[in-house]
A and B are shown apart, each in its own frame.
Chain A
Amino acid sequence: MTTPLLSLRGLTKAYPGVVANDDVSLEIGPGEIHALLGENGAGKSTLVKMIYGLVKPDSGTMEFKGASFAPQDPRTARASGVGMVFQHFSLFDALTVAENIALGMENAPAMGQLAARIREVSQSYGLPLAPDRTVGDLSAGERQRVEIIRCLLQDPKLLIMDEPTSVLTPQEVAILFETLNKLQSEGTSILYISHKLEEIRTLCDSATILRLGKVVGTCVPAQTSARDMAEMMVGTALKTPQRSGTQVGEVILELDKLSLPPANDFGMPLRAISLNLRKGEVLGIGGVAGNGQDELLGALSGETTVGNGMITYKGQDLSSLGPNERRAIGLLSAPEERLGHAAAPDMSLVENAMLTGATREGLEKGGMLDWAAARKFADRIITAFDVRTPSAANAARSLSGGNLQKFVIGREVLQRPNVLVVNQPTWGVDASAAAAIRQALLDLAMGGAAVIVISQDLDELMEVSDRFAALNEGRLSPPRPAAGLTVDEIGLMMGGAHGLEAAHV
Chain B
Amino acid sequence: MIRLEKRPQPSRTYALATPVLAVLATMFFGGVLFAILGKDPVQSIITIFWEPLFGEFSFYYRPQLLVKGAPLVLIAIGLALGFKAGIWNIGAEGQYIMGAIFGAGMGLAFYPTESVFIFPLMILAGAFGGWLWATIPAVLKVKFGTNEILVSLMLVYVAEQLLASVSLGLLKNPEGFGFPGSRNLQQYASAHNAELITGSGMHWGVVAAFIAVIFAYVLLARHRLGFAIRVTGEAPRAARFSGVNPARLILFCLGISGMLAGLAGMFEAAGPAGQITIDFNVGYGFTAIIVAFLGRLHPIGILLAGLLMALTYIGGDIAQSQLQLPAAAIQVFQGMLLFFLLAFDLLTNYHLRIGNTEVTP
Q: Are B361 and A344 in contact (CB under 8 A)?
A: no
Q: How far is the CA of A46 from the CA of B361 in the complex (A)?
A: 8
Interface size class of A (residues with CB under 8 A): 35 or more
For window 330-346 of B, CB contacts with A under 8 Å fall at none
Q: Are A341 and B358 in contact (CB under 8 A)?
A: no
Flag A16-34 by CB within 8 Å of B: 1 or 0 each: 0000100000000000000
> What are the residues of chain A within 8 A of B360 when measuring CB–CB?
15
Q: Are A398 and B241 in contact (CB under 8 A)?
A: no
Q: Are A324 and B237 in contact (CB under 8 A)?
A: no
Which of B177-185, B218-226, B314-322 is found at the contact surface with chain A?
Answer: B218-226
Q: Whose C-beta in chain B lies nearest to the C-beta of A357?
A: B242
Q: Are B235 and A341 in contact (CB under 8 A)?
A: yes
Q: Are B8 and A355 in contact (CB under 8 A)?
A: no
Flag A315-327 by CB within 8 Å of B: 1 or 0 each: 0000000111101
Q: How far is the CA of A395 from the CA of B9 in the complex (A)?
A: 6
**Which of B222, B227, B241 lies in contact with A301, CB distance below 8 A?**
B241
Which of A364-372, A376-384, A490-498 is found at the contact surface with chain B?
Answer: A364-372
Q: Are B358 and A346 in contact (CB under 8 A)?
A: no
- Given A49-B361, A323-B243, the answer on whether A355 and B234 have CB atoms closer than 8 Å is no
Query: A61 CB to closest chain B CB, in angstroms?
Result: 18
Q: How far is the CA of A354 from the CA of B239 in the complex (A)?
A: 11
Is A303 in the interface zone, CB < 8 Å from B?
A: yes
Is B10 in the interface zone, CB < 8 Å from A?
A: yes
- The 3 tightest CB contacts between A and B, nearest first, are A324-B243, A395-B9, A344-B235
Is A312 in the interface zone, CB < 8 Å from B?
A: no
Q: Are A395 and B231 in contact (CB under 8 A)?
A: no
Q: Are A369 and B224 in contact (CB under 8 A)?
A: yes
Q: How far is the CA of A342 from the CA of B239 in the complex (A)?
A: 9
Q: Are B361 and A346 in contact (CB under 8 A)?
A: no
Query: B326 CB to closest chain A CB, in angstroms?
Result: 42
Is A226 in the interface zone, CB < 8 Å from B?
A: no
Is A290 in the interface zone, CB < 8 Å from B?
A: no
Is B240 in the interface zone, CB < 8 Å from A?
A: yes
A-B residue pairs in contact (CB < 8 Å), sample of 24: A15-B360, A46-B361, A55-B359, A55-B361, A303-B241, A322-B243, A322-B245, A323-B240, A324-B242, A324-B243, A341-B238, A347-B234, A355-B231, A358-B242, A364-B224, A367-B224, A367-B225, A368-B222, A368-B224, A369-B224, A369-B227, A395-B9, A397-B9, A398-B9
Is A394 in the interface zone, CB < 8 Å from B?
A: yes
Q: How far is the CA of A56 from the CA of B357 in the complex (A)?
A: 11
- Given A322-B243, A354-B227, the answer on whether A340 and B10 have CB atoms closer than 8 Å is no
- Given A303-B241, A335-B241, the answer on whether A346 and B231 have CB atoms closer than 8 Å is no
Q: Whose C-beta in chain B lies nearest to the C-beta of A46?
A: B361
Q: Are A369 and B223 in contact (CB under 8 A)?
A: yes
Query: B210 CB to closest chain A CB, in angstroms?
Result: 21
Known: A322-B243, A322-B245, A346-B10. 19 other contacts (CB 8 A): A15-B361, A20-B361, A46-B361, A56-B358, A323-B241, A324-B242, A324-B243, A340-B237, A341-B241, A342-B241, A343-B235, A355-B231, A358-B224, A367-B225, A369-B223, A369-B224, A395-B8, A395-B10, A398-B9
Q: How far is the CA of A302 from the CA of B222 in the complex (A)?
A: 25
> What are the residues of chain B within 8 A of A346 when measuring CB–CB?
9-10, 234-235
> What are the residues of chain A within 8 A of B223 when measuring CB–CB?
367-369
> What are the residues of chain A within 8 A of B9 when measuring CB–CB?
346, 394-395, 397-398
For window 233-259 of B, CB contacts with A under 8 Å fall at 234-235, 237-243, 245
Q: Are B358 and A355 in contact (CB under 8 A)?
A: no
Q: Whose C-beta in chain A lies nearest to the C-beta of B243?
A: A324
> What are the residues of chain A within 8 A of B238 when measuring CB–CB?
340-344, 355
Query: B235 CB to closest chain A CB, in angstroms?
Result: 4
Count B-side interface residues using an 8 Å CB cutoff. 24
> What are the residues of chain B within 8 A of A369 when measuring CB–CB?
222-224, 227
- Given A55-B358, A369-B227, the answer on whether A337 and B243 have CB atoms closer than 8 Å is no
Is A345 in the interface zone, CB < 8 Å from B?
A: yes
Q: How far is the CA of A337 from the CA of B10 in the complex (A)?
A: 21
Q: How far is the CA of A322 from the CA of B227 in the complex (A)?
A: 17
For window 348-367 of A, CB contacts with B under 8 Å fall at 351, 354-356, 358-359, 364, 367
Q: How far is the CA of A478 from the CA of B239 in the complex (A)?
A: 33
> What are the residues of chain B within 8 A of A347 when measuring CB–CB?
230-231, 234-235
> What are the residues of chain A within 8 A of B234 when measuring CB–CB?
344-347
> What are the residues of chain A within 8 A of B237 when measuring CB–CB?
337, 340-341
Query: B221 CB to closest chain A CB, in angstroms?
Result: 8
Is A166 in the interface zone, CB < 8 Å from B?
A: no
**Which of A20, A45, A46, A323 lies in contact with B242, CB distance below 8 A?**
A323
Q: Are B8 and A356 in contact (CB under 8 A)?
A: no
Which of A15, A341, A351, A368: most chain B CB closer than 10 A? A341
Query: B5 CB to closest chain A CB, in angstroms?
Result: 10
> What are the residues of chain B within 8 A of A344 when measuring CB–CB?
231, 234-235, 238-239
Query: B256 CB to closest chain A CB, in angstroms?
Result: 15
Q: Whose C-beta in chain A lies nearest to the C-beta of B6?
A: A397
> What are the residues of chain B within 8 A of A327 when measuring CB–CB?
243
Query: B3 CB to closest chain A CB, in angstroms?
Result: 14
Which of B227, B231, B241, B358: most chain A CB closer than 10 A? B241
For window 74-110 of A, CB contacts with B under 8 Å fall at none
> What are the residues of chain B within 8 A of A54 when measuring CB–CB?
359, 361
Q: How far is the CA of A398 from the CA of B7 in the complex (A)?
A: 9
Q: Whose C-beta in chain B lies nearest to the C-beta of A365?
A: B224
Q: Whose C-beta in chain A lies nearest to the C-beta of B218?
A: A368
> What are the residues of chain B within 8 A of A55 when measuring CB–CB?
358-359, 361
Query: A399 CB to closest chain B CB, in angstroms?
Result: 9
Q: Are A356 and B361 in contact (CB under 8 A)?
A: no
Q: Are B224 and A303 in contact (CB under 8 A)?
A: no
Q: How far is the CA of A150 from the CA of B213 in the complex (A)?
A: 60
